[in-house]
Structure 1
Amino acid sequence: MKGSKQWLVAAAIVGVGLSSAIGLTSHAATTQQTFISTLKSPVKTVANQYKLYPSVMMAQAALESGWGTSQLTLQANNYFGIKGSYNGQSVSMETSEYDANGQLYTTAANFRKYPNAKASMTDNAKLLRNGISGNSAYYSGTWRENAATYAAAANALTGTYATAPTYGASLIALIQQYGLNSLDKKTSSTTSSSSSSSANSGATVQPVYATAKYYGVSGTQTARLGSKYTSYRVYNHIKGTREKVTKTAWSKLKVGPGQLVYLNMRGVKKAPTTGKKTTWYRVTFSPAKSAKKYWVYGAALTLPTVKYAAGQATVKLSAASGDYYNHVFNSPYLAKAQGTLSQLKAKTYTADNQAVKTQDGIKTTWYRILAGKTKYWVAADHTAATPQYDYVAYTKTSGTRKLSKTFKKYHLYNHVKKTHFDQQEFKWPSKVKAGTKVTFNQIVTKPAYQTTWYRIQFSGSKTNYWVDARALTK
């Protein structure tokens, strides 16, 4: 199978009975019809819960498990060859895999051991619904809202779930041969119009929608369409959150990769069955207020990147106009202004986090400051906020020194103290003592404090540390 190393098909399939793998008491139950009738209930329950085609799930289970005769199915109720462990339970099996050169080889691997068939069906359904790392919509072609027929869903597994070019066709052939498409039919809530109000008629099943939490934004925040944006869809609302969500074809929008889009809202969707959260954005293709709004899944966009670093600095605010925000402006979180800088009464604030944002090749720096009991983000530039560091003068030189008798009164740092945001303090190596020789390769003076600092290295190490000169002696 393609996409994740944890999801591979076991190659060891032998012709033996279904036995206890599917909960049967008879050891002679080997026919396909027995397999279908035994798994009908868990397949329909799970497939409908995750909005998949029961016919495709049944066909997959039959194909992957050899109609329930594989040793993996017999010993572990594992119908889809899923590797790893399930609630700490696994079995070791030999499996055939391909190496980097395309050569087939046999190796031992641990496969998940399930308590029953339904657990195996659920695990596979979660894979199809949640996708792979970095792409939760990887198997979206199998979802009933995207696949108009079971055949479309089966074909969507070719090249994703399995690399075999005939994988989808094999599933379709099984569905047609054994009439598995009958599993896809939904049971009517009533038997007839005349008996719809009778006590025996079934209750109407209400659809379960995903929930979404929405976050507003300020100003003009932008992103670009990613190189694979057409792998996703454009909707009038976040998909699956309400009735009659419609989609628009990309071809109608006349856009392409790299197209600038304007972001005016962020939504975090929570799946009703798994609780999995995904991020969506409401976009327009023009900055005009009248521009039509669409919702897209975040993976369809190339968003600015932000690298965060914890640390400490004093940030001085200017009197110039500007805003402070709940997030870095135009970061993937999007940002909403919390007020103007002129509303912050103090002139300096302590920052505990630094962010470097890269958008279209341009880098900007932001600091998170504490104002009262609330933290805000401010841009680091001469018109808004500037970090305050001690002035130092560097001299590149070299030589040796020894640790003084009072060296433990001082500390080792990755930078001269109060000169960089990501200041880190380190302990002295356990084996050093007064008189231990060190080499230095740079000297710094801090005129305001009339102190000198050395950048030193210990014998046998290439790591540089900064230390106050008072920790050293000749």
Structure 2
Amino acid sequence: MMGDILMKLWKELTLILAVTIGVSGLAATHVQADTHTAFINQMSQPVLKVSRQNHLYGSVMMAQAALESDWGTSQLSIDAHNYFGVKGNYDGHSITMSTAEANASGSMYNTLAQFKVYPSVKASLTDYAKTLRGGTTWNPFLYQGAWRENAGSYMAATAVVAENYATDQNYAEKLNNIIAEYDLHDLLDRSTATSHDADTSTEVTPGVDYSSYDGSATIKSGTIRFYNGVPTASDKVKSVKTTQLANKKVKVSARGIVTSDQSIWYQVKSGSVTGWVQITDILGLKTN
């Protein structure tokens, strides 16, 4: 009799524990989902802005920031606004933290390294975009396959990023899974074709290295060539002769360098007029 009572109590206790564990698991899942959604909401506007300015896939930028910073919970992202694990210093600012490295045989070991400290989320994203658009000192075109003008899909872009940015063989798959799970392609890539995109007034030309530029300049006097996009020998973008901008101070929002001849162009804006002019047609160029 006593054995039956004990068995019944044990079953009831087991059931209570199972339910408790199940509820705890669901709660943990909800907390994780809420944390991920909050991260995406926090990062969406700066990601949209920076990805548009640099003609990159916003979905890839968001997924990589989430993966590298553990959805904004890493100490590096909290203390330094560093969402991509970038080493070095930013405007002379850095932080020393422990990191895992691989030796020549592939074995992992912990060591201390300096990482960049950024003043804001946007600064971190912009520096990341600069890396993707400008590559490295030994190969400025290392990531050109991830540029929107070269990558036909975000998956083509993640493949290039994974090959050159990380040693994890599953890196591209992890990025693609994040993008698919949170519909980042619809949220951040398709929306760049709307009227809110600052670059819809220009054409993206293959073979041009684009980068954002926040500055001002004065247009030279006389009649100049004003282009809808950066012209190249193989892509003669429509141009217009104009005198309406002569001697006017304009806002400079982007730079384009033609890789074949290294000619330099700037996207300028004055009122509702936006277009591209060659560096020889502007004076007093300066950053803000």
Please classify the TM superposition score into its range, dividing by the shorter chain length: 0.5 to 0.7
What residue number does 2:82 align with? 78
Deviation at 1:208, TM superposition (A): 6.3
Distance in 2 separating the partners of 1:62 and 1:99: 26
Distance in 2 separating the partners of 1:166 and 1:279: 32
**1:150-190 Cα deviation digits (max 9, x unpaired):** 11111112221112221111111100001111211135339
Is 1:126 matched with 2:130? yes
What residue number does 1:152 align with? 156
CA shift in 2, pair 1:209/1:151, >3 Å: closer
Q: Which amino acid aligns with 1:207?
A: T
**1:24-82 Cα deviation digits (max 9, x unpaired):** xxxx9961000000000000100111000000000000000000000000100000000
Distance in 2 separating the partners of 1:239 and 1:78: 39
Q: Which amino acid aligns with 2:165?
A: Y
Is the Cα–Cα contact under 8 Å of residues 47 and 53 in structure 1 kept in the other structure?
Answer: yes
What residue number does 1:181 align with? 185
Distance in 1 separating the partners of 2:71 and 2:144: 26
Is the Cα–Cα contact under 8 Å of residues 209 and 241 in structure 1 kept in the other structure?
Answer: no
What residue number does 1:404 align with? none
What residue number does 1:341 align with? none
**Structure 2 counterparts to residues 25-44 of structure 1, below 5 A:** 31-44=35-48
CA shift in 2, pair 1:48/1:238, >3 Å: farther
Distance in 2 separating the partners of 1:163 and 1:204: 34
Secondary structure at the residue paired with 1:31? helix
Secondary structure at the residue paired with 2:180? helix
Is the Cα–Cα contact under 8 Å of residues 131 and 138 in structure 1 kept in the other structure?
Answer: yes
Which has the higher relative contact order, 1 or 2, with Cα contacts under 8 A spaced 6 or more apart? 2
**Over aligned residues, Cα RMSD in angstroms?**
3.3
Secondary structure at the residue paired with 2:164? coil
What residue number does 1:460 align with? none
Structure 2: state its 5+ residue gaps. 1-31, 209-230, 239-252, 262-288
Distance in 1 separating the partners of 2:113 and 2:168: 22
Distance in 2 separating the partners of 1:188 and 1:279: 28
TM-score, with length taken from structure 2: 0.60
CA shift in 2, pair 1:40/1:239, >3 Å: farther
Is the Cα–Cα contact under 8 Å of residues 85 and 113 in structure 1 kept in the other structure?
Answer: yes
Q: Which amino acid aligns with 2:123?
A: A
Is the Cα–Cα contact under 8 Å of residues 59 and 189 in structure 2 kept in the other structure?
Answer: yes
CA shift in 2, pair 1:79/1:89, >3 Å: same
CA shift in 2, pair 1:144/1:103, >3 Å: same
Distance in 2 separating the partners of 1:207 and 1:105: 48
Distance in 1 separating the partners of 2:198 and 2:259: 34
**Structure 2 counterparts to residues 308-327 of structure 1, below 5 A:** none
CA shift in 2, pair 1:92/1:242, >3 Å: farther
What percent identity do the matched residue pairs reach? 43
Secondary structure at the residue paired with 1:273? strand
Distance in 2 separating the partners of 1:74 and 1:187: 32
Is the Cα–Cα contact under 8 Å of residues 141 and 147 in structure 1 kept in the other structure?
Answer: yes
What residue number does 1:96 align with? 100
More strand by share: 1
Distance in 1 separating the partners of 2:154 and 2:204: 22
Secondary structure at the residue paired with 2:162? coil
Aligned length: 193
CA shift in 2, pair 1:279/1:44, >3 Å: closer
CA shift in 2, pair 1:169/1:204, >3 Å: closer
More helix by share: 2
Is the Cα–Cα contact under 8 Å of residues 209 and 240 in structure 1 kept in the other structure?
Answer: no
CA shift in 2, pair 1:204/1:148, >3 Å: closer
Structure 1: state its 5+ residue gaps. 1-27, 191-201, 213-235, 244-271, 282-474
What residue number does 1:51 align with? 55
TM-score, with length taken from structure 1: 0.37
Is the Cα–Cα contact under 8 Å of residues 53 and 199 in structure 2 kept in the other structure?
Answer: no
Deviation at 1:205, TM superposition (A): 3.5
**Structure 2 counterparts to residues 104-123 of structure 1, below 5 A:** 104-123=108-127
**1:253-295 Cα deviation digits (max 9, x unpaired):** xxxxxxxxxxxxxxxxxxx7356x56526xxxxxxxxxxxxxx
Is the Cα–Cα contact under 8 Å of residues 51 and 57 in structure 2 kept in the other structure?
Answer: yes
What residue number does 2:266 align with? none
